[in-house]
Each structure stands twice: as C-alpha cells, then as structure tokens.
Structure 1
Amino acid sequence: MNKVNNKIIGLIYLPFLLLLIGIGLQKEVSVKLLVRDIFSVVELPSYTSIVSNLGILFWCSAFTVCWFSYLLFKNYLSQKKRGFLLYSSAISLFLLLDDFFLLHERFYSSHFHLPEKLLFCIYVIIFINYLFQFRSVIVKTQYSILLLAMFFFAISFSLDLIEERLFPPPQLGPDLFFLIEDGSKFLGIIGWCLYLTSVGLLSSTKIMSQVKTKNFSPKINQEEDVITSEKIRIF
C-alpha cells in the first residue's frame, strides 16, 4: 500500500489551521462561541436536539459512504453510474450543510431574502431531476428504500409549509406536530442513508469477491459497465 504523500497531509491540514488562526485574529465574535461545544456555552441539557443531531450524523454517513464508493469504484463504473454517485454525494453534502447551519431557516432568508417556500420548490426540483436523470440506474438498486425515504421527506415538507400558515394546527398540539414533522424528516434521512449504503455494499461485495477469489486485473467495458473478463454487473 502506498504511503500518503506528506504534501497531501499538509494540504488537508492547511485550511483548517488557517481557519483556527482566523478565529483567533478576528474580534467580532467571542472565540469561545466559535470553538467550544454548544453545551459548554449555553446551559442546556445534553440531550437537547438529539433527533436533529442524529439526523446530521446520518447525513454525514450518507455522504461519506456514497463519496467513498465513488472514489473506490469509479474505474469500474460507466459514466452514468459515476454521475449517479456524484449527484447522490452532492445532495447529501448540500442537505448536511443545510441542516447543520440552518441555511434554509435562517441564512438564505436573512441574507438573500429567499422565502422558505421557494427553497422547498428548489429542493423538490433537485430530487425530481435526480429521480428522472438516473432512473435507469435507480431501478437496478433497492429503490423501495429510496421511495420510502422520499415519502417521509414529503410528509415533513408538507407539515413545514402548513406550519408557516397555521401554527399550531388546530387538529394537532405543538408537541405532536413537531414529533410528526421532525420525526418524518429523521426517518427520511435514515432511509436515504440506508439506500446509499445498500448501493455501496452491493457494489463492493460483487467487485471485491471476484478480485479476491479470481485474482484478476479486469478491463472495463464503459458501455456495458461490467468487468468484461467475468461479466459481473455493479448494480
């Protein structure tokens, strides 16, 4: 196994080192607010936002699994399936940052004056384009998990839009409303992560088992997206 180049290690550390230096030099915000854990800054129970925080971890897991699968198997995949993994990674990273920094709830509206309804429409368009553009790939995967995730996301988005007009809804109390809205979103994130994990596992199982047992160096047919010497499909 090749050792990691020291220059690569330096390039990885450099931006984060510069970030810490920048935090230390700036005078606008207390350094404590930027570097300490939120529970060390604000007197809140440690279980505060536990479901939301778990959701962020699942977003991160989904991105990591999908991106790693792309890097590991890109030479074995057709352009279409490479694009599928890249698009899936981009969606996961985008929604991870959105959730982590509350972009659609605060940043976009305060800095760009974008209404939340418009942002939801953009998100829906992104997912519709994803399903349409990669439908030929998705149908060869365990797409039922993906559809289940989309179902939960749809419930959460719908309730979020209702909340803007009428809160709390007369049919539901605040606690039940938040439980259904944020719970549906959480289940959707789990489904998304599970789906991308299943795609990565299916790819790795088929490829690595053949490489291990046959000990061959395959040539890739980009049109058929198979290991031509063994005729093994990735999905």
Structure 2
Amino acid sequence: MNFFQDLLQVFNLRKIIRWIMLAGIPAGVFYIASILILKLGGFNLIEILRDPAQQNEQSSFLGFLSNVGNWLWIASAAISFFAATRIDPGFGKRLRELLILVGLFSMTLAIDDFFLIHDRYINEFICYAVYAFLAGALLVRHYKTILNVDGFAFLAAGSFLALSILTDMIQNYIPLRYSYTQVFEEGFKFIGAATWLYFSFRIAASGIAPAAARPPRNPEIKASISG
C-alpha cells in the first residue's frame, strides 16, 4: 500500500505540470533554438554539441582556471536568485532587490567571461566602465545593507577585480613576459570572483531564516521532517 502511495506522490500531476512548464519546455526550446541558430551561423552539429577539448583532442584541463572562474560567477548568480525567492518576509523588498541585482551583475560577468565579450565583441574599456558604474550604483543604492552584512567582502571583491583590470590596461608597459602578466591579471580576477561569491553567500544568508524557524509550505514535507 505504501509503495502505491509513494508512486502517486512521485507522479503527482501538479508536480509533473510544474516540471513541464519550468524545466522541460524551457530546456527543450533553448536546446533546439541553439542548434538551429548556430547551424544558421555556419557551425556543424559536432561543433555545437561537443566540448572544444574533445573536438581538438586537447587535454580536459585546457583553460582549467578560466573555467573554474566562470563557475564562481554562475554560483554567485544562482545563490543570489535562489535566496531572492526564499527571503524571510521580515527583511522587506530592499534585500530582495539587492539579491536580484547581485544575481544579474554576476550573470552579466559570467556571460562576458564565458563568451569573451570584452575581448572580441565590445571594446574592453566600455565594458570596464559599465561594470564600474553598475558596481558603484549597487553600492550607492544599498550602502547600508552592504555595510551591515559584509562591507569588507564587497570592498575586497571590487579591489581585486579593479587590480585585474588595471593589470590588463598596463601590461604592455610592465617589463615581464605576457604569460607572467597574465598570472597576475587572471589571479586578481580569480580571487575577486571567489570573494564576490563569498559576498553573495553572505548577503543571501542574511535574508534567509533558519530552516527550524521557517515552517515548510507543504504539510507533507513538514510531516516527513517531524517523522
């Protein structure tokens, strides 16, 4: 009897519809649209579907730190967006707005880093100016919240990212090999991204009530926890 009840719980119509609408259809549309658009752009299916390291028979660790750095931006965005949906009502709309803005900023940097936007498509100085403006606007609008939660983490993240940009701008005047200046430029960016992830976590944690203090919305989940 319990087995059939478990099956009914797994194949719950409401949950199936929710999966179809929020995961299945969006993923399928994105997958098919990506293939069609990139095919029109001149790419073949192998180039679209397979990892570049596989296609070029290169090591899987090619661009290792660059890839991990991109994960940091994406993780920051995911944490921020999730926390914005789970924020404790007592904190109000301001913190939710901050989390959404941090998430959008993180996702913007992730897209830039992944697709090399500032290296290939938009002048890097324009990108740097826009990012500096967005970070400054974020600080001005949510100064008190950032200061109270972890102003040092915000300052540290901004400082390391600024050092990365500065190194990029003056690398031609540094009496070192390009590969050595890249160690500093990418190192500053990596530490800045990791610090931004930490800052995102701190902001998210400040607005989410402990699990024990927040009753589950679903009574079945509450019963399973208490049981």
TM-score of the superposed pair, with normalisation by structure 2? 0.80
Q: Secondary structure at the match of 2:179?
A: helix
Matched with 1:112 is none
Which of 203, 206, 220 is the aligned partner of 2:207? 203
Residue 20 (structure 1) shift: 5.4
Letter in 1 for 2:65: V
TM-score of the superposed pair, with normalisation by structure 1? 0.77
Matched with 2:15 is 3
Matched with 2:194 is 190
Residue 121 (structure 1) shift: 1.3
Distance 1:12 1:118, change over 3 A: closer
Q: Distance in 1 between matches of 2:39 and 2:194?
A: 39
Contact 2:35 2:45 in 1 (8 A): no
Within-5 A mapping of 1:1-235:
3=15, 5=18, 6-19=20-33, 22=36, 26=40, 28-73=42-87, 75-108=89-122, 115-163=123-171, 166=172, 169-170=174-175, 172-204=176-208, 206-211=209-214
Contact 2:99 2:204 in 1 (8 A): no
Distance 1:89 1:45, change over 3 A: same
Structure 2 segments unaligned to the other structure (5+ residues): 1-8, 217-227
Letter in 2 for 1:193: L
Distance 1:24 1:78, change over 3 A: closer
Post-superposition CA distance 1:106-131 (Å, at most 9, x none)? 122xxxxxx32222111111111111
More moved, 92-101 vs 29-38:
29-38
Matched with 2:5 is none
Contact 1:33 1:41 in 2 (8 A): yes
Identity of aligned residues (%): 22
Distance 1:11 1:30, change over 3 A: closer
Distance 1:54 1:21, change over 3 A: closer
Q: Distance in 1 between matches of 2:45 and 2:99?
A: 38
Structure 1 segments unaligned to the other structure (5+ residues): 109-114, 216-235
Q: Distance in 1 between matches of 2:22 and 2:154?
A: 36
Letter in 2 for 1:196: S
Residue 74 (structure 1) shift: 6.5
The number of residues matched between the two structures is 203
Distance 1:118 1:13, change over 3 A: closer
Q: Secondary structure at the match of 2:42?
A: coil
Contact 2:153 2:196 in 1 (8 A): yes
Q: Distance in 2 between matches of 1:148 and 1:125?
A: 17
Structure 1 consecutive aligned stretches of length 4 or more whose deviation exceeds 6 Å? none
Contact 1:59 1:92 in 2 (8 A): yes
Letter in 1 for 2:106: S
Q: Secondary structure at the match of 2:121?
A: helix
Letter in 2 for 1:184: F
Distance 1:24 1:174, change over 3 A: closer
Structure with greater helix share of residues: 2
